[in-house]
Every structure is written in structure tokens, then in C-alpha cells.
Chains A and B, each alone.
Chain A
Amino acid sequence: MFHALADATRRDIVAVVLAQEQSVSELARRYPMSFAAVQKHVAVLERAGLVVKRRHGREQRVRGVPGVLREVHGLLDQLESLWRARIDRIDRILDEGASP
């Protein structure tokens, strides 16, 4: 996440799309760079979980993910780890009975 925000343009994009959803073309008009370059920044931010993209007709629209939502996602990730570990243990118990 820190790496994703190392670039001033990316920090600005996050601030803009947290305030209001923008299409990639709208973002590209704000900065002195190509559509493809902006798209690349958005992709980095998306991988870091800082923004999400959705398709709207022919446009790709980008919005910011508030911090609390990222934290909620982190909690759900931990619930997933907890249940995966439990399911592994259940599997081992069930296998004992199945072995000849």
C-alpha cells in the first residue's frame, strides 16, 4: 500500500476518487499524461485495495475505498483463515474414519 502511494499522481487520484467517482478518461484529463499511463496508476491502486473499478457502459469508473472498509475486509480475511484452518482439521478427523 505504501508503495502504491509513493507517487504524487497516485496520491492525488486517491484523493479525487474518494471525493467523487471518476471515469478513467476524466482522470486522464486532469494530468499531463496519457490515458494508458493513468490506467496503469489506477491498476496499481486497485491491486493495493485503495480504489475499485466498475464498468459503466463503455466507461471504466473508479472510486476510492474508505479506510474502514479496507479494515472490514481485513477482518473477513482473518475469519477466512480461521475457518480454513478449522476445515483442515475437520478433514483430518473425517479421514481417520475413512481409512481402512
Chain B
Amino acid sequence: MTVTDVVKDTDNRRMTITAEFGAPVERVWQIWADPRQLERWWGPPTYPATVVDHDLSPGGAVDYFMTSPEGDKHAGWWRVSAAVPPNRLEFEDGFADGEGRPNPDMPVTVVAVTLADRDGGGTRMEITSTFATVEAMEQLLAMGMDEGMKAAMGQIDAILES
């Protein structure tokens, strides 16, 4: 088990998860910085991700789609607000319509990643995921929590199988 801590803050609509890895910071940064590695973990095996554009500089974008077992494509995007390789990455994470444009009907989360040397070697990775707005959460609640979350987060069932 590599997850060492989880904190949920309902007032600020925020979840923070901390994990530790044996690999050094530079190696863990690669799982974000190398689109071929990112594709292997962002989506569950049954919903593999294909990264189309990948620019982790501030102001840059990552565009990707996930393919369902039936072959349906679900597009998503990141907008990078901060990047300090190999220690820090912050981006907005949202969903796109059929044309690849941001879909305003789907909730946006803000993701902040920090990678730090761990005492005794390895890496401590902290990820904070915040629902950008109250409206973003209300969209999910209005869709029905389960259905909304499945749609927004790429099929929880598939994730649990993986």
C-alpha cells in the first residue's frame, strides 16, 4: 500500500491524497511528463487514455480521449497553470464535447501535484483535487451522484475492476 494519507475537506470541496514510492522524484515526474506513461495510468485498463497534445509548461494544455469497451470516445483536457519540473504541477482538469472543446456542462476539478524527496529515499507525492466551484459539485449532484461521477470520472465500475 503506497497511499499514506487521505484528507477530505467538505467545506472547501477538496480531497488530498499522499502516496510514497521507492523511485526518485525525477522518475516519478516522468509518469506525468511522458505522455506514453501518462496514458498507462490516467484511465482504467478498460478505458484506456490516448494523449493527443501534451504541453506541461504554464499555459500549456494536455488533450486526451478515453475509449470505452464499446469504442465510444470521451475527450478530456488539462489547462496547466503552474509547472516546476520535477517538483510541482497544477492544472484544471475538465471534459470536452465531441469536437474537443471544453464542455461547460461537466464539472472542472483543479489538481495540484507536489513531488518531494522522502526521508530515507524515494518520493512523497501529494495530490490535491478540488471541485473548482460549488456549481461543479452541484452539476454532479444534479446528475445523481453515482451517474454523474461515472460520467465525469471515467467509469467508476471500470476503475474498481482495475
A68-B141, A78-B153, A86-B42 are contacts. A94–B21 as well, Cβ < 8 Å?
Answer: yes
Provide the main secondary structure of the chain A interface: helix
Contact with B along A24-64 (1 / 0, CB 8 A): 00000000000000000000000000000000000000000
Contact with A along B3-28 (1 / 0, CB 8 A): 10010111001110101011100011
A91 / chain B contacts, CB cutoff of 8 Å: 2, 19, 21
- Number of residue pairs A-B, CB distance < 8 angstroms: 86
A77 / chain B contacts, CB cutoff of 8 Å: 8
Q: Evaluate contact between A82 and B31: CB separation under 8 angstroms.
A: no
Interface size class of B (residues with CB under 8 A): 35 or more
- A6 interfacial contact with B, CB 8 Å: no
Task: Tell me the A67-91 residues at the B interface (CB within 8 Å).
Answer: 68-69, 71-91
Q: Evaluate contact between B22 and A98: CB separation under 8 angstroms.
A: yes
B156 / chain A contacts, CB cutoff of 8 Å: 78, 81-82
Closest-by-CB residue of B relative to A86 is B41
Q: Evaluate contact between A78 and B2: CB separation under 8 angstroms.
A: no
Contacting residue for A76 out of B15, B21, B42, CB 8 A: B15
A to B CB contacts below 8 Å, 27 in the list: A71-B145, A72-B10, A72-B137, A75-B137, A75-B149, A76-B8, A76-B9, A76-B10, A76-B13, A76-B14, A77-B8, A78-B149, A79-B109, A80-B15, A81-B156, A81-B160, A82-B153, A84-B3, A87-B17, A87-B125, A88-B162, A90-B28, A90-B31, A91-B2, A94-B21, A97-B23, A98-B22
